[in-house]
Amino acid sequence: MHRKIIIAIDGHSSCGKSTLAKNIAKQLKYGYIDTGAMYRTVTLYAIRNKLITDDSIHEDALQAALNDINISFQYNEENQHNDTYLNGENVEEQIRTMEVSSRVSRVSALKFVRTAMVDQQRKMGTQKGIVMDGRDIGSVVFPNAELKVFLTANADVRAQRRYQELLGNGKEARLEEVKQNLLERDELDSNRKESPLVQAEDAVVLDNSYMTREEGAQWVVEKAQQIINQ
């Protein structure tokens, strides 16, 4: 019986962390947890309940509401994807809009939000055998993860990927606006006070700018198999 491990994948937005994590989970038959979707779901809740504007966040009200925000994941047979649920409602499409994208970094920078989400994430990882991606998985959530990957890609490649993803989902987008949003999120994620995006000291770096999805996944799976078979 092979031992199960935790695989932590961190990196900037639109590097393909979620796609990579899903591919790895599928090949290893591991569970996949999209932590970015969790922060997006809290952001969607805040938008719907008018707890966030362009200028401010009603922090006290959002903190009080956290007990009413139940986030779960359910496997969707139709698209072979883990859909995100907010209080029993499938919100997978709603959390991927530019409106949520432009506000999620501000919500995820709040200490009480991060504390609540990290608690949930750690509970999900108690049995191991999971792949989790985000901004602080290897550095904060699972500092003892057996395999940590820091994913990177150049900004133009990332912007193009995100732009194509939005168009593919039937959403309007401008490439320059998408790139600007990515760069702003990089800045916020890397410089926030709470759990900033950093490369863990023992992480392996994967630059997938010019790799296919399959090549990136294979690279990580081989690293994982070496650890699993030790």
pLDDT digits (tens, 9 = 90+) for 63-77: 999 999 999 888 777
Inside any domain, residue 220: no
pLDDT of amino acid 194: 81
pTM of the model: 0.79
pLDDT of amino acid 127: 86
Inside any domain, residue 217: no
Locate 140 and state its tokens. 């904060």
- The string of pLDDT tens digits covering residues 166-203 is 898 888 889 999 999 999 988 888 888 888 888 999 99
**Domains identified in the chain, total number:** 1
Instruction: Provide the residue range defining the domain that includes 88.
Output: 6-211
Please give the average per-residue pLDDT across 134-163, as a whole number.
Answer: 94
Inside any domain, residue 20: yes
Which residues are CB-contacts of 195 (< 8 A; sequence separation ≥ 6)? Answer: 114, 118, 135, 136, 139, 140
Please give the average per-residue pLDDT across 201-226, as a whole number.
Answer: 96
Q: Which is nearest to 216 in space by CA: 31, 29, 28, 20?
A: 20
Q: Which residues of 16-30 are buried (b: 16+ CB within 10 A; e: fewer)?
A: bbbbbbbbbbeebeb
pLDDT at 1 over 60: no
- The string of pLDDT tens digits covering residues 39-54 is 999 999 999 999 999 8
Inside any domain, residue 183: yes
Which residues are CB-contacts of 215 (< 8 A; sequence separation ≥ 6)? Answer: 208
Phi, psi of 71 (to 5 degrees): -105, 130
Which residues are CB-contacts of 20 (< 8 A; sequence separation ≥ 6)? Answer: 9, 133, 149, 151, 208, 213, 216, 217, 220
Helix (H) or strand (E) holding 75: strand 71-76
Greatest extent of the chain over all pairs of C-alpha atoms, in Å:
54
- The string of pLDDT tens digits covering residues 95-117 is 999 899 999 999 999 999 999 99
- The string of pLDDT tens digits covering residues 121-148 is 998 889 899 999 988 899 999 999 999 9
**How many alpha carbons fall within 13 Å on the CB side of residue 17?**
26
Average pLDDT along the chain: 92
- The string of pLDDT tens digits covering residues 51-65 is 999 889 999 999 999
Inside any domain, residue 224: no
Inside any domain, residue 221: no
Q: How far apart are CA 8 and CA 146, in angstroms?
A: 8
Locate 230 and state its tokens. 């030790």
Q: What is the CATH number of the domain that holds 183?
A: 3.40.50.300
Inside any domain, residue 161: yes
Inside any domain, residue 169: yes
